[in-house]
Structure formats: C-alpha cells, structure tokens
Amino acid sequence: MQYRFPENFWWGSASSGPQSEGATLRDGKSATIWDKWFDESPNRFFNQVGPQDTSTFYDHFRSDIQLMKQLNHNTFRTSIAWARLIPNGTGEVNPLAVRFYNDMLDELLANGIEPFINLFHFDMPLCMQEKGGWESREVVDAYADFAETCFRLFGGKVKFWFTFNEPIVPVEGGYLYDFHYPNVVDFRRAATVAYHTMLAHAKAVQRYRALQQEGQIGIVLNLTPSYPRSQHPSDLQASKIADLFFNRSFLDPAVKGEYPAELVELLKQYDQLPHCEAGDAELLAQGKVDLLGVNYYQPRRVKARANAVNPASPFMPEWFFDYYEMPGRKMNPHRGWEIYEKGIYDILINLRDNYGNIPSYISENGMGVEGEEKFLVEGQIQDDYRIKFVSDHLQWLHKGISENCACKGYHLWTFIDNWSWSNAYKNRYGFVQLDLATQKRTIKKSGEWFADVSRNNGF
C-alpha cells in the first residue's frame, strides 16, 4: 500500500439536515427560508425541485445507515434542523424531533459510526428570519439556546459538535452576491451578519464549555486558498486582501478568538465596520474551537485590479482585486469548478504554521457531476473520475500528515446524492446514486472503492 493513514483516521461522508431529511413540514417542523424562497421563486431552483424533494433521510435513515456501514464509514456528519427541533425558534421543543434525532444517533452508534453533528447548515427558521435573521442579536441569543438544548438532549451520544457549516456562505449568498434568500446586496449588512454569526458561534462554545460534557466542539469553514497571479507586490496584496475577506474573517476568530487587525483596519478606513457592543471582544475570545472542519472544493485565483474603483459604486470585496483564470488550470469537465488538489495541502500547512496546528479534518471535498446517468453501466455508475479526484486529494492530504499536520480524517461530500441549494439534483456528488422518483439507492463504483480505502486505512 502506498498511502497508509494514521490509526483511527476518520473515514466517512457529510450531509446536512435540509439537504437530506425531507419531511420539510411534517411532524411539527416549521418552515425555513428555503421553503419560503422556493414558494416565491421556484424558477430559481433547477427543474423547480424544491427543499421538500430529497432522499428523505427522515424516513430512510435506518437503511441509509446500513449502506454507510457497507461503505465502512466510521464517522458521518449531518446537522440538526433548528426548525424541526424548536419550531418557533425559541421555547418549546418538538418531541417528534427529539425522537427522530435520538433514533438516528442510536442507529449510527449501534453500527459503529461516530456522529459528527452540526447545528446550522444555512437553514434559518423562517420565524427567526422574520425577526431579522443574523442581523438581529435576538436571533443570536435564540441560536445559543437552541445549541444548548441540543447539547443537553444529545450530548450523551454526540462527542463531536460543530456550530456552523460554512458561515460565510449565507453572508455571501444572502447579503452580498444575491444567490440565497433574502437576496440583499449590501456590504455593511453582510458584515453585520458575519459578525453576529461569530458571536452566535462563540456563545454556543461558551454554553458547551459550561456544561462540561465529554466531547469536542468546532466549526466547519470552507477555506479557499488565495493564489496571486504573480509575485508582483500588487498581486500579492490583492491575494492577501481576498484571503482576509474570504478565509481569515472566520478562521481567525474561530481559532485565535479575534479578528485580524488588518481586516478591522481596512473596514474602519472605509466605514464598513459592524456595530460592536461592550463585551463582544471577550465573548469572541471564548469561541476558540477544539477542532476545525475544512471544506475544500477549489482555490481562489486573484490579481491586482486592472481598473481603478469608482468610489461612488457600492463597497465590495472586489474593490481590492480582480479574479484571474490561470492558463492551463484543470477544470472539472462536469461542473465549472477548478480542480487543484494541492490546495488541500496548502491549507493544512497554513493551519500548522499559522494556527498552532489546530486539529482539523477535511469535512467536505467532492466532485459535482452533471448528467451522471451517462456513466451508468449495467446499473452502476462507473465514476472513475470521482475515484481519481478523491485519491489525488488524499495523496496531498497524506503528504500534509507526513509533515506533521494535525489532520484527523476525510469526509466526502456527500453520502447519497442530495438536494442542493438551487442546483437541486443537477450536480451529483454521492458515493450512492439516488433515483429521486423511486427513492432507490445504488452504490456507485467510488463507494465500493472508498469501502476498501477505509477498511485498509489507505490505498
């Protein structure tokens, strides 16, 4: 075997409640912003497939967990839906949700699969959005109560908690680039959302520590390493600023408990700082995580801006850089994302050298493929491209570990093809193929390959 991984390495996959559970308005669950957005503009969703159309993990979790076992998963991440557990956002807990999550956790544990549980995967309860969503400090407090409820209810079973998945995405999608509800485009509001999310994160960490449960708490960040076009100082500066906006704005508070001074200075200079209150800095300092989940899909390539900024235009991160398509870069032919495997290694080295080698794991990595049915041969998807994608990334991850990076595992996005934010089922990512009409699951070739990798702890 060429690549052997450390003992007890976490092999598994990741999903989320809103993308797999289905049963969106059943058994007491209330609506989220996704239900509302779909009702209002179904055309934004690929083929008008909405959040209710999923693999219905809510009904199939027992047989799905058997499939995970067949693929030799020792870990699996999903999320608890706030709108299912506490339908009014605050207050009364839904007993049917408690039963579902307990049953699901018991089933995972009985099959030797460690549950990694995330508390927010873009699924703001609608009633909380109506109170202002992350722009409101009342919602921050409500989230902290929800988090504590989860710790108290399920802390005996869950040893790995995550406060948020990719908290920058609702900021970018909902408040900056118009690809998520509520479709606001306003930097200052985006900065407030980002800031309040980290306050909510810190409050959840604080509550978790106060309970003194046995376990770890972390956050899942989508880190997109920023690569400059050249070593010219203006390109380097452009890349540094993109890194501040898109990575360090969450990475620094999560690991170091404070924002990078350069980012604060820059926002102050342009009068874009969110409103801070007494005690915020002390709270943020308590949000330091035990474990960092790293979602890695693609890098960000930037260069110095070609044209001067029009100061009358609305403030945006792109005031400080242009995007750049590196000639010869490798693209996923089935979806327009760059593939750059070494990015995973660069992230781990950065965590080792600049973030105290914080324990981490790759919490998402994967290859979305459009029209995957064309790879069906005798009833099974022959996704050799996915096997290559994963093994190429694992080789770089292995190199990072051999250079002392504290990376503890690898999760593919995702287990069974699942519903995606407005892409719905266009891009398939799973180890297991889903026939949405019949709900039939079929293991892809990559799933069989991964079962061997996990069994052998290497390849």
* CB nearer to ligand BGP: pick between 19 and 94: 19
Output Rg (C-alpha) for the chain, integer angstroms. Answer: 21
List the one residue from 5, 10, 16, 218 that touches ligand BGP (CB under 6 A). 16
401: region left, alpha or beta (phi > 0 left; psi from -120 to 50 alpha)? alpha
The distance of closest approach from Cβ of residue 364 to ligand BGP in the complex, given in angstroms and rounded to an integer, is: 6
* Residue whose entry in the numeric block shows the structure tokens 């459009």: 370
* Binding track over 317-356 against ligand BGP, x by CB under 6 A: ----------------------------------------
Q: Which stretch binds ligand BGP (CB under 6 A): 161-169, 228-236, 317-325, 344-352?
A: 161-169
Beta carbon nearer to ligand BGP, 56 or 165: 165
Structure-block tokens of residue 457: 């702890």
Q: Does 431 bind ligand BGP (CB under 6 A)?
A: no
Pattern 66-105, ligand BGP, x by CB under 6 A? ----------------------------------------
| Omega cis (within 30) before 414 | yes
Q: Which residues are catalytic?
A: 364
User: Which of 423, 445, 457, 458 touches ligand BGP by CB under 6 A?
Assistant: 423
State yes or no: residue 420 binds ligand BGP (CB under 6 A). yes
3-state secondary structure of 397: helix
Which residues, numbered 288-307, are part of the site for ligand BGP (CB under 6 A)? Answer: 295
Report which secondary-structure segment, H or E, holds 392: helix 384-402
Closest separation between CB of residue 105 and ligand BGP, Å?
A: 21
Residue 165 as a binder of ligand BGP (CB under 6 A): the answer is: yes
Among 192, 427, 433, 446, binds ligand BGP (CB under 6 A): 427
Cβ pair 102, 154 in contact under 8 A: yes
CB of 46 to ligand BGP, least distance (A): 10
Q: Whose CA is closest to 104, among 55, 152, 58?
A: 58
Query: Could you tell me the smallest distance in angstroms from the CB atom of residue 211 to ligand BGP?
Result: 27
Site for ligand BGP in 360-419 (CB under 6 A): 364, 368, 413
Q: Which is nearer to ligand BGP, 179 or 270 (CB)?
A: 179
Contact (Cβ atoms closer than 8 angstroms) between residue 393 and residue 347: no
Residue 327: half-sphere exposure toward Cβ, Cα within 13 Å: 1
CA distance 256 to 235: 27
Closer to ligand BGP by Cβ: residue 221 or 451: 221
Q: Which residues of 219-251 are buried (b: 16+ CB within 10 A; e: fewer)?
A: bbbbbbbbbbbeeeeebeebbbbbbbbbbbbbb
Of the candidate spans 40-48, 165-173, 280-288, 312-320, the one that interacts with ligand BGP by CB under 6 A turns out to be 165-173
Furthest C-alpha separation in the chain: 64
Measured distance CA(40)–CA(20) in Å, rounded:
22
For residue 50, state whether it binds ligand BGP (rule: CB under 6 A): no
Q: Can you tell me the distance from the alpha carbon of 76 to that of 319, in angstroms, rounded to the nearest whole number?
A: 40
Residue 421 in contact with ligand BGP, rule: CB under 6 A = yes
Residues 17-46, mask of contacts with ligand BGP (x by CB under 6 A): --x---------------------------
CA 136/CA 115 separation, integer angstroms = 31
Token pair for residue 274? 């969110």
Binding site for ligand BGP (CB under 6 A): 16, 19, 165-166, 169, 222, 295, 364, 368, 413, 420-421, 423, 427
